[in-house]
């Protein structure tokens, strides 16, 4: 069963830090910078208490410790809340051992007022805990607690230091790693760190002093532990527990940090010198510095706390050589500045920085300069080389430095890591001369048109050529020292109106750069696209301070018509802005209504249509029409009346049909009226016929 | 103890379908995000970005990309709403994840963030290709810019680029202008011109090119100038959103916190624009912006309220639709002045911009064309960065019925008059003919 310590720390798997990837980010800056202001601002940001207090005592301690090491002024309310928490925990008998431990740790920084009675209670509790401890964390908290009480009260001793030492040592494994408890099968470097810190505590609490032979047996354990150290390509060293079960895996940062804490604590109490190569300590320091600024509070604490341990350890104190700037301008005559600090950025002992050699990157040629010492500047605390050596022209170099300590006894205290290679870019203004653009006739090579270019300013050359001609662009590049310069980027770009681009690398011979485009050979590549081509020239390099991208002008190309099988250029990307956006509105155009005469005209013609009727009526009157033949007898008269009423009804039906009735209604009614009409019509007409027959016969 | 487990499993299995759907108007937010890493150290070195996501309520689950236990779905249900691939060097995913699984994940409407880097593995390049972008094929190529680089005392090879060529879209990058340039170090990619779904969000400057900074350039670089995309986004047709970038370090705490000064510029920014840029763009990716929904489509004749089954030619009609945008917490009215309605049969007969009341209601009125047939009301709203709205509603339009034409035409009065005078004449004639002596 893993202990509560394990569970708590496993809470954040965040411990996993630094990795190949991160190092690849810093690849170009493979030297390490000491702790800087960015750590301070990150610390303030990361350790921001919620409503004035941190989540736990452990976090409170981590925040206080980080602020303390970085020299950040503690806010009064943080101190006050921390003190309140501490006195609550210390005063209560129900607080856990771990909380008590962290309360005492926090107290060692903020120095709260704790009365003697409370101390007495703590000492009794911790002593009881030491006696009853069965696992490594129990020992760690109780012994650590007692040590902290001793720090503030003074008169604390472990009665049976020897026995405790042995029982802690029982967790040791043969490979230098330790176990958390006797029944846990896994051993880890993380536990080793804790064990060393605990044992260091036991040693300093022991009264009378412990047997030195007992202590010295640990020395070989530490050496074994350091055999399992792992390494990054850039020289950073770290510890990592490769556990199959990721449950209580701490990650390289937490593990390395634990080992460093244990190691430095142990080195502080032992009389004899620990047998650890000082370069390993430097490698560990590089590991912590290589992380940069962690984004997690726990990681930041581990980093800062470990660096603080390394800053004043008794094994060897790493010194870090760093350069504020690795890009130096030859033109501006920048001076080479080198900083040598401890890991936390404080001043190093008196020493000399030597520039051992300068090598061109990627070549194995001999050093360009002789070994020389850098001048120490008291004002800035930096080592300067005021003028770059004359042999340094623009380019990228590897500078090799060496630190020489003045005092021979410092050699034992400090570790400098021997020679240090630093990549340096020496940049400068490149002189561009004789820039020309010309159109040549193909067969003779004679110049048809030639224009001078001013690559520092604006150009608007306007040329024209056909497929039998050539285009030549040439210029000359010289470094400040008058040597040939070969930029990484020397590209000529021709862009057709349809945005089809063609890019050519401009080659050189010595200082002279020239490209000749023979259009006859390029027609196919140009997709037979005639028309205007914009010309752009890009010359740039990492060490060229005046890298440029210039639109030179344009050339009108007259290329032959494409054959049928010619390849078409790839479609060019469409501007995303034009692809979207509202479309033009569309309104429907309605059919125009038919042309009609004015209403007045229709009415006039309506009047005219009644004229014939009028004429008919007048005609009838003039003819003297009468109704003398109307039957006089009642029966025929009735039939005659009915006949005419029926005709009138049929005619009215027609009017109704026109006004509102549909065909079916009309036919129905018409059928009915028709029958009546035929019947009465037959009677009337036969009556009239009979009457007229009578008249004739009479 | 056992009982508790049972309850736990039961409640999870009940909740699972609700937790793990893609963005939809009903469950309009991504919650569960799987983050695949090359190394757990990225959790720490990129923690600012992750914390920004966590603080917005996302539940990030970190896994190593080659963890044999990872899976995107179980029993046909997706376990996550979004996937973040921060594993540029992974050669093969662990578990059941492969490129096809990722493509299916996106095809079912889930979101994806891919960060490649120098020496990106073929697998990550393939994911990029599936997303519609092509990374530079040279494995050691980086984007180099000798004019638009970020000034730095310790980085002299001009591969750390300060780019400020953003896409002009408030919905993607937020309303607040990004003042500081973006720090970028990584590989460039090109977006396929044939793919209209991919958008370059951050382009390289015209002087940039993609090449191996350590070797001599002998052939023209495959990618140059503004054609190089540093960060691209994809909005798939199913509204899944993707972010593809060639730099993992641009998400890192170091770049988030780093100051930036673009070469040739005197302005030194205290902080790079990376944090603002990537946070804003993640809001877009996770549908906190630019996701539209249209509801309450209504149309009726002017003066009526009920929706008719069909319209007659020349009817005056009113059309209204409500459009809302998801803000991350609620649906807010969408305000725009370019939502357009089409009255469509084979081609649009009417295309009209809807007027907005600024509270999400868009409406217009128009006269039905004098062409009959089966029409559609179509709202095809496609705007840069917004989800595309595509509404269509079929509606038949009929011609006039025979009795709906004009009844008494003045121009025909003479004909009417002629007929009736004829009839009157006939009536009188019948008397005159029969009874006159």
Q: What is the per-residue pLDDT across A126-160, written as a single tens digit (0 to 9) for each?
A: 888 888 888 888 888 888 888 888 877 777 777 77
Q: Does B350 contact A at CB distance below 8 Å?
A: yes
**pLDDT of res. B420:** 92
For chain A, the distance separating the N- and C-terminal CA atoms, rounded to the nearest angstrom, is 151
Q: What is the mean pLDDT of chain A?
A: 82
One domain for residues B104 and B190: yes
Contact A547 B146 (CB under 8 A): yes
pLDDT in tens, B307-340: 999 999 989 999 999 999 988 788 899 998 889 9
- Specify the DSSP element, H or E, that contains A551: strand A548-558
> Is B249 part of a structural domain of the chain?
yes
Nearest CA in chain A to B223: A503
B213 and B265 share one domain: yes
Burial class (CB in 10 A: 0-12, 13-18, 19+), A544: buried
Q: Is residue B410 part of a domain?
A: no
pLDDT tens, A440-474?
A: 887 766 777 888 888 878 888 888 888 888 888 99
| Mean residue pLDDT across chain B | 88
pLDDT of A9: 39
pLDDT tens for residues A164-188? 888 888 888 888 788 887 777 777 8
Give A200's Cβ-side CA count (13 Å radius).
23
Closest CB to A327: pick one of B153, B216, B434: B153
For A202-230, b/e burial (b = at least 16 CB within 10 A) is bbbbbeeebeeebbeebbebbebbbeebe
Last residue of a domain, one of B235, B263, B285: B285
- B141 in a domain, yes or no? yes
Q: What is the spatial distance between Cα A569 and Cα A528, in angstroms, rounded to a whole number?
A: 10
Contact call for residues A104 and A156 (beta carbons, < 8 A): no
Is the CB of B429 less than 8 angstroms away from the CB of A616? yes
Given this model, what pLDDT does residue A670 score?
Answer: 94
Report d(CA A394, CA A377) in Å as an integer. 26
- Interchain proximity A14–B43, CB inside 8 Å: yes
The reply to whether B314 and B190 lie within a common domain is no
Radius of gyration of chain B (CA): 32
In this structure, is residue B407 part of a structural domain? no
Alpha carbons A259 and A229: distance in angstroms, whole number: 11
Nearest CA in chain A to B146: A540
Residues of B in contact with A644 (CB under 8 A): 427, 430-431
What band does A44 get if pLDDT is binned at 50, 70 and 90? confident
Please answer whether residues A515 and A492 qualify as being in contact, where contact means their C-beta atoms are separated by less than 8 angstroms.
yes
**Which residue of chain A is at minimal alpha-carbon distance from B371?**
A590
User: Which pLDDT belongs to residue A52?
Assistant: 66
Given B285, B313, B340, the domain boundary residue is B285
Q: Is residue B37 part of a domain?
A: yes
Confirm or reject contact between A695 and chain B (CB < 8 A): no
How many alpha carbons fall within 13 Å on the CB side of residue A343? 29
Domain identity same for B242 and B388:
no
**Interchain CB distance below 8 Å, A292 and B45:** yes
pLDDT exceeds cutoff 90 at A337: no
Backbone angles phi, psi at A547, to 5 degrees: -60, 145
Residue B22 has a pLDDT of 56
Task: Answer whether B355 touches A (CB < 8 Å).
Answer: no
Residue A14 with chain B: CB contacts under 8 Å: 43-44, 47
Q: Clarify whether residues B233 and B378 are in a common domain.
A: no
- Chain A contacts in chain B segment 138-197 (CB below 8 A): 144, 146-147, 152-159, 167-168, 185, 191, 193-194, 196
Q: Do B384 and A580 touch (CB under 8 A)?
A: yes
Interface of A with B in 653-672 (CB under 8 A): 654-655, 658
3 state SS for A470-501: EEEEEEEEECCCCCECCCCEEEEEEEECCCCE
ipTM of the complex: 0.78
Shortest Cα–Cα distance, A101 to chain B (Å): 27
Banded pLDDT at B43 (limits 50, 70, 90): confident
Count CA within 13 A, CB hemisphere, residue B178: 30
The H-or-E segment that residue A505 falls in is: strand A501-505
Do B234 and B275 have their domain in common?
yes
Q: Hey, are the CB atoms on B350 and A588 less than 8 Å from each other?
A: yes
What's the rounded Cα separation, in Å, for the pair A440 and A449? 7
> How far apart are the two ends of chain B, measured CA to CA in Å?
128
| pLDDT tens-place string over residues A582-640 | 888 999 999 888 888 899 999 999 999 999 999 999 998 998 888 888 888 888 899 99
Cβ–Cβ contact A363 with B under 8 A: no
pLDDT tens per residue across span B183-240: 999 999 999 888 888 999 999 999 999 999 888 888 899 899 888 999 999 999 888 9
What pLDDT does residue B116 have? 93
Neighbours of B153 (CB within 10 A): 13
The helix (run of H) or strand (run of E) holding residue A696 is helix A663-697
pLDDT in tens, B77-121: 899 999 999 999 999 998 889 999 999 999 998 999 999 998 889
Is B43 near chain A, with CB under 8 Å? yes
Instruction: Tell me the C-alpha to C-alpha distance, in Å, between residue A33 and each of A325, A338, A355.
Output: 11, 11, 19
Q: State phi, psi for A682 to the nearest 5 degrees.
A: -65, -45
| A634-659 vs B413-435: helix crossing angle, rounded to 10 | 170
The reply to whether A618 touches chain B by the CB within 8 Å rule is no
**Domain identity same for B260 and B156:** yes
CA dist., res. A379 & res. A336, Å (int): 16
Residue of B200, B228, B326 lying closest to A503 (CA atoms):
B228
pLDDT at B26 over 70: no
pLDDT at B343 over 70: yes
Residue pair B143/B163 in contact (Cβ under 8 Å)? The answer is no
**Looking at the domain assignment, is residue B436 inside a domain?**
no
* CATH (domain of B189): 3.40.50
Residues of B in contact with A16 (CB under 8 A): 39-41, 43-44
Q: Do A599 and B410 touch (CB under 8 A)?
A: yes
Q: Which residues on chain A are in Cβ contact (under 8 Å) with B383?
A: 580-581
- What is the tens place of the pLDDT at every residue in A644-695? 999 999 999 999 999 888 899 999 999 999 999 999 999 988 988 888 888 8
Interface size between A and B, measured as CB pairs under 8 A:
276
What pLDDT is recorded for position B378? Answer: 92
DSSP 8-state code for residue A456:
T
A680 vs B: CB within 8 A: no
B307 close to A (CB below 8 A)? no
Q: If we measure between CA atoms, which residue out of A18, A584, A26 comes closest to residue A302?
A: A18
Both tokens assigned to A676: 């009546």
Q: How many domains does chain B have?
A: 2
Q: Label residue A74 by pLDDT band (50, 70, 90).
A: low
What percent of chain A shows pLDDT beyond 90?
A: 12
How far is Cα A69 from Cα A56, in angstroms, rounded to an integer?
20
State whether residue A386 sits within 8 Å of chain B by CB.
no
The nearest CA of chain A is from the CA of B394 a distance in Å of: 18
B residues 113-142 closer than 8 Å to A (CB): 117-119
For residue B176, pLDDT over 50 is answered with: yes
Asked whether residue A543 carries a pLDDT value surpassing 60, the answer given is yes
Judgement on whether residues B128 and B262 belong to the same structural domain of the protein: yes
Whether residue B76 is contained in a domain is answered as yes
Burial (Cβ within 10 Å: 0-12, 13-18, ≥19) of residue A687: middle
**pLDDT at residue A63 tops 70:** yes
Residue with tokens 């020349």: B314
A34-63 average pLDDT score: 80
Q: For residue A1, give every residue at least 6 positions away whose Cβ sits within 8 Å of its Cβ, in sequence order, or none.
A: A181, A183, A184
Is the separation of the CB atoms in B321 and B297 below 8 Å? yes
Q: B423 and A17: CB-CB below 8 Å?
A: no
Say yes or no: A682 contacts chain B, CB-CB below 8 A.
no
Same domain, B32 and B68: yes
CB A274 within 8 A of CB A267: yes
Strand positions, DSSP E, A177-332: 178-179, 187-188, 230-231, 237-238, 317-322, 327-329
Contacts of B158 in chain A (CB under 8 A): 540, 542
Confidence (pLDDT) at B349: 94
DSSP A96: -
User: Over the Cα atoms of chain A, what is R_g?
Assistant: 53
Q: Which of A488, A491, A584 to mutate to test the interface with B (most CBs of B within 10 A)?
A: A488
Same structural domain, B135 and B275:
yes
Residues of chain A with C-beta less than 8 angstroms from the C-beta of B249: 25
Contact A354, A453 (CB under 8 A): no
- Residue B204 sits at the vertex; the CA angle it makes with A398 and A437, to the nearest 5 degrees, is 80
- What's the CA gap between B254 and A293, in Å, rounded? 7
Task: Write down the pTM of the prediction.
Answer: 0.80
Check CB contact of B430 with chain A, cutoff 8 Å. yes
A286 and A234 Cβ atoms separated by less than 8 Å: yes
Of B193, B209, B220, the CB nearest to A504: B220
* Distance separating alpha carbons of residues A240 and A224, to the nearest angstrom: 14
Can you give the pLDDT at residue B6?
A: 56
Cβ–Cβ of A28/B157 closer than 8 Å? yes
Tens-digit pLDDT profile for residues A553-571: 999 988 888 888 878 888 7
| Chain B residues touching residue A613 (CB < 8 angstroms) | 421-422, 424-425
CA-based nearest residue in chain B for residue A299: B44
Nearest chain A alpha carbon to B48: A295
Which of A161, A153, A251 is CA-nearest to residue A199? A161
Give pLDDT tens digits for B235-281.
998 889 999 999 999 999 889 888 888 888 888 898 899 999 999 99
Q: Closest to A651 (Cβ–Cβ): which among B156, B159, B427?
A: B427
Lowest mean pLDDT among A265-269, A502-506, A572-576: A572-576
- What secondary structure, in 3-state letters, does chain B show? CHHHHHHHHHHHHHHHHHHCCCCCCCCCCCCEEEEEECCCHHHHHCHHHHHHHHHCCCEEEEEECCCCCCCCEECCEECCCEEEEECCCCCCCCCCCCHHHHHHHHHCCCEEEEECCCCCCHHHHHHHHHCCEEECCCCCCEEEECCCEECCCCCCCCCCEEECEECCCHHHHCCCCCCCCEEECCCCEEECCCCCCEEEEEECCCCEEEECCCCCCCCCCCCEHHHCEEEEEEECCCCCEEEEECCCHHHCHHHHHCCECECCCCCCECCCCHHHHHHHHHHHHCCCCCEEEEEEEEEEECCCCCCCCCEECCCEEEEEEEEEEECCCCEEECCCCCCEEEEEECEEEEEEECEECCCCEEEEEEECCCCCEEEEEEEEECCCCCCCEEEEEEEEEECCCHHHCCCCCHHHHHHHHHHHHHHHHHHHHHHHHHHCC
Interface check B408 vs A, CB under 8 A: no
State the pLDDT at residue B426.
93
Same domain, B248 and B310: no
Find the CB nearest A396 among B156, B349, B367.
Answer: B156
Picking from B285, B314, B341, the residue at the C-terminal end of a domain is B285
| pLDDT tens digit sequence for B371-382 | 999 999 999 998
Chain B residues closer than 8 Å to A688 by CB: 434
Rounded-to-integer distance, Cα B52 and Cα B105, Å: 24
Residue B434 lies in a domain: no
Closest CA–CA distance from residue A12 to any residue of chain B (Å): 11
Domain residues for the domain of B44 are: 15-285
Contact B206 A549 (CB under 8 A): yes
DSSP states of A342-411: ETTSPBPPSEEEEEEEEEETT--PPPSS--EEPEEETTTTEEEE-S--TT--SEEEEEEEEEEESSTTHH
Q: Are residues B194 and B325 in the same domain?
A: no
How many Å apart are CA A616 and CA B427, to the nearest integer?
12
| Backbone CA torsion sign across A687, A690, A692, A698 | negative
Q: For residue B47, what are its two tokens?
A: 């923690």
Instruction: Report which of residues B76 and B396 the model is more confident about.
Output: B396
Subunit contact B248:A325, Cβ cutoff 8 A: no
Chain B CB within 8 Å of residue A396 CB: yes
Q: Which of residues 549-568 of A touch B (CB under 8 A)?
A: 549
């Amino acid at each position: 069963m893993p202990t509560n310590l394990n569970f708590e720390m496993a809470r954040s798997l965040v411990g996993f830090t630094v990795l190949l990837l991160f190092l690849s980010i810093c690849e170009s800056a493979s030297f390490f910078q000491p702790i800087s202001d960015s750590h301070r601002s990150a610390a303030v940001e990361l350790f921001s208490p919620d409503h004035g207090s941190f989540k736990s005592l452990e976090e409170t301690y981590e925040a206080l410790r980080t602020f303390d090491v970085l020299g950040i002024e503690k806010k009064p309310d943080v101190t006050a809340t921390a003190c309140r928490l501490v006195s609550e925990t210390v005063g209560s008998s129900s607080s856990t051992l771990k909380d008590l431990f962290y309360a005492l740790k926090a107290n060692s920084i903020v120095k709260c007022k704790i009365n003697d009675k409370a101390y007495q209670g703590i000492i009794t509790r911790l002593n009881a805990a030491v006696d009853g401890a069965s696992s490594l964390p129990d020992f760690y908290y109780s012994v650590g607690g007692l040590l902290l009480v001793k720090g503030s009260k003074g008169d604390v001793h472990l009665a049976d230091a020897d026995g405790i030492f042995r029982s802690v040592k029982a967790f040791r494994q043969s490979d230098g790693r330790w176990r958390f408890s006797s029944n846990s099968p896994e051993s880890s470097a993380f536990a080793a760190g804790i064990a060393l810190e605990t044992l260091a505590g036991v040693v300093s609490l022991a009264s009378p002093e412990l047997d030195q032979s007992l202590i010295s047996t640990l020395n070989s354990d530490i050496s074994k532990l350091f055999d399992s150290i792992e390494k990054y390509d850039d020289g950073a060293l770290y510890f990592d527990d490769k556990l199959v079960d990721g449950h209580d895996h701490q990650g390289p940062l937490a593990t390395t940090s634990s080992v460093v804490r244990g190691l430095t604590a142990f080195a502080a109490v032992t009389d004899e010198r620990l047998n650890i190569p000082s370069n390993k300590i430097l490698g560990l320091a590089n590991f912590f510095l290589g992380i940069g600024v962690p984004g997690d509070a726990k990681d930041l604490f581990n980093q800062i706390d470990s660096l603080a341990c390394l800053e004043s350890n008794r094994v060897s104190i790493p010194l870090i050589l760093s350069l504020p700037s690795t890009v130096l301008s030859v033109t501006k005559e920048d001076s080479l500045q080198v900083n040598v600090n401890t890991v936390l950025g404080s001043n190093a002992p008196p020493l000399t920085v030597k520039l051992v050699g300068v090598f061109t990157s990627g070549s194995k040629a001999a050093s360009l300069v002789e070994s020389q010492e850098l001048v120490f500047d008291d004002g800035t605390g930096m080592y300067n080389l005021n003028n770059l050596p004359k042999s340094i022209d623009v380019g990228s170099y590897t500078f090799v430095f060496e630190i020489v300590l003045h005092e021979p006894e410092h050699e034992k205290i400090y570790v400098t890591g021997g020679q240090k290679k630093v990549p340096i870019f020496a940049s400068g203004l490149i002189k561009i001369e004789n820039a020309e653009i010309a159109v040549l006739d193909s067969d003779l090579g004679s110049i048809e048109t030639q224009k001078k270019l001013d690559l520092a300013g604006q150009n608007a050359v306007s040329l024209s050529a056909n497929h039998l001609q050539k285009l030549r662009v040439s210029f000359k590049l010289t470094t400040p020292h008058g040597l040939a310069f070969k930029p990484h980027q020397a590209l000529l770009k021709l862009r057709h109106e349809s945005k089809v681009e063609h890019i050519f690398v401009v080659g050189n011979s010595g200082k002279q750069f020239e490209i000749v485009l023979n259009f006859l050979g390029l027609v196919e590549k140009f997709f037979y696209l005639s028309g205007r081509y914009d010309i752009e020239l890009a010359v740039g390099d990492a060490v060229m301070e005046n890298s440029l991208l210039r639109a030179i002008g344009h050339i009108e190309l007259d290329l032959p018509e494409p054959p049928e099988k010619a390849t078409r250029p790839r479609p060019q990307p469409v501007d995303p802005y034009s692809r979207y956006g509202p479309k033009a509105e569309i309104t429907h155009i309605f059919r125009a209504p038919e042309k009609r005469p004015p209403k007045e005209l229709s009415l006039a013609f309506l009047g005219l249509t009644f004229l014939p009727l009028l004429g008919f009526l007048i005609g009838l009157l003039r003819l003297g029409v009468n109704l003398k033949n109307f039957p006089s007898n009642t029966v025929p008269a009735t039939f005659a009346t009915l006949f005419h009423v029926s005709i009138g009804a049929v005619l009215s039906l027609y009017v109704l049909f026109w006004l509102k009735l549909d065909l079916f209604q009309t036919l129905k009614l018409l059928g009915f009226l028709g029958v009546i009409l035929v019947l009465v019509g037959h009677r009337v007409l036969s009556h009239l016929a009979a009457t007229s027959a009578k008249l004739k016969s009479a | 103890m056992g009982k508790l487990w049972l309850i736990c499993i039961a409640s999870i299995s009940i909740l699972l379908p609700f937790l793990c759907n893609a963005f939809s108007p009903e469950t309009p937010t991504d919650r569960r995000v799987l983050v695949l890493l090359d190394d757990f150290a990225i959790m720490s070195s990129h923690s600012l970005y992750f914390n920004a996501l966590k603080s917005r309520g996302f539940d990030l689950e970190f896994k190593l990309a080659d963890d044999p236990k990872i899976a995107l779905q179980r029993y046909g249900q997706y376990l996550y709403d979004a996937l973040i691939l921060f594993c540029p060097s992974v050669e093969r995913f662990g578990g059941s994840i492969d490129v096809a699984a990722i493509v299916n994940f996106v095809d079912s409407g889930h979101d994806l963030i891919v960060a490649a880097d120098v020496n990106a593995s073929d697998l990550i390049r393939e994911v990029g290709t599936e997303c519609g972008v092509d990374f530079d094929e040279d494995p050691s190529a980086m984007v180099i810019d000798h004019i638009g680089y970020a000034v730095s005392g310790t980085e002299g090879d001009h591969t750390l680029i300060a780019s400020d060529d953003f896409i002009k879209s408030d919905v993607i990058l937020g309303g607040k202008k990004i003042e500081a340039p973006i720090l970028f170090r990584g590989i460039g990619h090109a977006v396929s011109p044939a793919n209209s779904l991919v958008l370059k969000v951050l382009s390289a400057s015209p002087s940039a090119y993609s090449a191996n900074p350590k070797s001599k350039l002998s052939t023209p670089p495959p990618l140059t100038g503004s054609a190089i995309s540093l960060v691209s986004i994809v909005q798939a047709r199913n509204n899944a959103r993707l972010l593809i970038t060639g730099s993992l370090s641009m998400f890192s705490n170091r770049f988030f916190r780093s100051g930036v000064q673009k070469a040739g510029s005197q302005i030194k920014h205290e902080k790079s624009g990376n944090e603002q840029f990537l946070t804003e763009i993640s809001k877009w990716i996770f549908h906190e912006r630019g996701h539209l929904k249209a509801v309450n489509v209504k149309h009726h004749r002017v003066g009526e309220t009920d929706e008719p089954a069909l319209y007659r030619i020349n009817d005056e009609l009113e059309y209204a639709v409500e459009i809302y945008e998801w803000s991350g917490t609620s649906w807010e009215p969408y305000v725009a002045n370019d939502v357009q309605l089409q009255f469509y049969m084979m081609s649009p007969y009417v295309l009209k911009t809807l007027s907005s009341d600024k509270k999400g209601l868009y409406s217009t009125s128009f006269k039905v064309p004098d062409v009959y047939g089966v029409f559609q009301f179509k709202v095809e709203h496609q705007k840069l960065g917004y989800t595309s709205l595509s509404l269509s509603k079929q509606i038949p339009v009929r011609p006039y019925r025979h009795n709906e034409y004009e009844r008494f035409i003045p121009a025909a009065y003479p004909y009417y008059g002629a007929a009736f005078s004829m009839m009157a004449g006939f009536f009188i004639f019948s008397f005159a003919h029969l009874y006159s002596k």
